[in-house]
Every structure is written in C-alpha cells, then in structure tokens.
Chain A
C-alpha cells in the first residue's frame, strides 16, 4: 500500500547519483512540487530519463519549467530523452562537455520503458532502421529481419526512482491523470525500483472508479500531496 509522505521525505528517498525517470512532456505532467524540491536539495549527478529537457518559461511564468530546473542547476550528468530542442541549456551543457545526452526515438523510448515494467527483455521496432540510432550500442543491440522486414532490437530502460504526477490519487495509491499528462507517467510508474507519485489532489478510495484507474496503486510506493485540491 502506498505511503503518504511530505515532499521533504520524498526527496530524502532519492539518492545522489540515482537514475531517475520523470513522467511529463515539455513539463506538462511533470511532478512540479517534487522536482522543485529536488532542484533545491543540493543533490545531483543524476541520470535523467525524460521525454525531453522541458523548457525555460513555464505557463505560470516559471523561469524554468519542471525538469528544466534540474538541468539548469546542473544536477543532471546524463540525459536520456527524445527531444531537447526547446531547452537551449541542454545543447549548451552538451557543448561544454558537462552533460551527456542520448537521443532515442519517442515511440521506442516509451516502449523500452513499458517493456521493462512488463518483464520483457527488449523491444523489436522498425523505428530507426537505417539511421544513426542503430549505432548507439548502449541502447540498440542490432538488427533482425522478421517476415522480410527489418527491426532494431532495443534494450529495456529501468530506473532507480520514477517520479510521476497524477491529478487525482486515492488513498490506495490509484492514479488518474488529467488531459495530456498521462504521457510517459503511465509506463514510467511500472519501470523503477521506487515509484514516487505527486497528487494534485488526494482523494478517498472510491472517488476514482475502478474502471477509471490509470496507474494501479500496486505500482506506487510513495505519494506526495501536491496540495492543488
């Protein structure tokens, strides 16, 4: 059963140098309260798995939006993402040699995370065949031909800690996502040793109908009340 903790307690669970995955897409669906606290924690040396580096300039006038705070504070040494073009600091830190970046096709990354959480050993995808994705041996194990079509064999992706964000989370840890925030939160909740979820609102059991649970409470270890209720 998920434990409810303060944001300080949640950040204390994240070790320095951890591999962390953050759900979200250009900041939409990032766990903003936890990430903000993590950005002020002094911890770093993280490997960050995220769709993107988010962007400076959030919709509420934030200087840095979501995971962009961790990048701005130079807490990330290695970023595994699909698109980093909207956060100029990623290219800047890459050029300075302080940030390693691996770029993976978006559909492949999503499925590599899902496969890890589903106990599969890899993903066979036609995406990236004939491109430099084939050359990234840390993630691509080679090519296979099945029924005449070429596929890349991609490794699965796992993290020490997944930081996800749901709009409603009930007291059993069941999560319901609003709008487009479901994105990478859904697979990431299945693919880490420790899953910390931020709830915009904590609700009673039953308020999310069982048919409408997106991430089941069994995946969620800790919940932080984001206090947006």
Chain B
C-alpha cells in the first residue's frame, strides 16, 4: 500500500464502526477523515469538546472565526439541530457516557488496552486537553493509527510513555488489520490481505490472539 493511501484506508474502515445516530468525538489528524467515508444511511452527531454538539460544515457564509471554532482553534460551524454548550456541560456529556464513540490516534497502545498519546517527557509536552476524559467516558474508544512508527511497533506489551488512560481501548484499526481489546488480550479479527498474519505479528510487540473467525479487512 502506498504511504499516501494509508490514512484514507484506515479512516474508511473506522467509518464502518459507526452506527446511525451515534454521538462521536474525533481527535485531530486521521480521525477527522472518518466522516467522509460514512456508509450510506449512517448519520452521526459530531461533538467538539470546546462546545459544539452537532457540528456542521464551514462555508464562506457561516464562517465566524472569532466566535465559532473547533478544539484546535480553527473555524468550525454548528449544523442544523446542533447546540453550543459550555465546557462543564461538554465534559459532562463526555464523562457521563453520552458519547458513543471517540476516535483518536495513539503514540503507543498496549495489551491491556491502555493508550499513551499526550506527552513525550523531555521532548514534547502539549498537554492532555480533553483526551483523558474522552478515553474514560466514551462508550467505544477506537484507536485509528498507522501500525508502526518508522518501522517500530506501536502496539506494545506495555506502554512506555506516560498513559493517557488505562484499560480504555475497545478497538485498534491500522492499515494492517483490526484488533479487538478483550479480557484475554489483543485479538486480531480482520487482516489486510496485503499482509500475512505472520507479518502483522512481526510488526506488533504484543502477542496477537488470532480470531477463529479471522476475516479479510474490507
């Protein structure tokens, strides 16, 4: 697979996890591509933690960068039927289990379903923002990321960077496969036919349990 195709490929597979009517929060980067690939008939309500429930499309007409932005400070919009809320309400929604899915990237994930993505001590200290709350509160936590970083595994036995949250991930989707986090460990449930199961395991530090119902990714 060409490097340029990877992100779209992952986003397309992630989109199939969302159900009609879901309330969804998207992290920065790759996750923002997911809405482009929603299957026909599936409409989701996107939440932006700085204060929008039901985001819309930014146009030249509705653009209002002084008053309506997303969590990255970029111009955003509210969609029909949407609402503006304050930060306490927004995180009440998130922690209170009212968000069906959050989709975010990871620097490291591990066998215990824990995730590290907010700090590289001594190098990069951007802060956790809303990520810790989202991981703890969302019903489904989907990590959408490239399988390795510069050839090094990102799916580890145990995260080495400080955790964003522990025992929180539902599913990991990469260009190589789809992995469910279970009580027994990480279960490979779908594979990209461009790779063998052996190649996927070789790119993964954690031990993968191969599902008896293993299917090709589509």
Verify A180–B72 contact, CB threshold 8 A.
Answer: no
Verify A183–B87 contact, CB threshold 8 A.
Answer: yes
Verify A125–B50 contact, CB threshold 8 A.
Answer: no
Give the complex CA separation of A131 and B132 in angstroms: 9
User: Chain A 177-201 against B: per-residue CB contact (8 Å), 1 yes, 0 no?
Assistant: 1111111111100000000000000
Given the complex, which residues of B lie within 8 Å of A179, measured CB to CB?
64, 67-69, 78, 84
Verify B132–A84 contact, CB threshold 8 A.
Answer: no
Given the complex, which residues of A lie within 8 Å of B165, measured CB to CB?
127, 129-131
Given the complex, which residues of B lie within 8 Å of A108, measured CB to CB?
132-133
Stretch at the interface among A41-49, A70-78, A99-107, A155-163: A99-107
Given the complex, which residues of A lie within 8 Å of B73, measured CB to CB?
25-28, 54-55, 86
**Is B1 an interface position by the 8 A CB rule?**
no
What number of residue pairs across chains A and B have CB atoms under 8 A from each other?
152
Verify B87–A186 contact, CB threshold 8 A.
Answer: yes
Verify B136–A129 contact, CB threshold 8 A.
Answer: yes
Verify B130–A181 contact, CB threshold 8 A.
Answer: no
A107 in contact with B126 given A131-B162, A179-B64, A183-B51 (CB within 8 Å): no
Give the complex CA separation of A130 and B90 in angstroms: 23
Give the complex CA separation of A59 and B75 in angstroms: 9
B52 to chain A, nearest CB (A): 6
A83 in contact with B91 given A28-B66, A106-B49, A131-B162 (CB within 8 Å): no
| A to B CB contacts below 8 Å, 27 in the list | A26-B50, A28-B50, A28-B73, A52-B129, A81-B127, A82-B127, A82-B130, A83-B128, A83-B129, A94-B125, A103-B125, A105-B133, A106-B128, A106-B129, A107-B91, A107-B94, A110-B91, A125-B95, A129-B165, A130-B165, A131-B164, A131-B166, A180-B48, A181-B67, A182-B86, A183-B86, A183-B87
Interface residues, chain A, with chain B CB atoms under 8 Å away: 25-28, 51-52, 54-55, 59-60, 81-86, 91, 94, 101, 103, 105-108, 110-111, 114, 125-133, 167, 177-187, 214
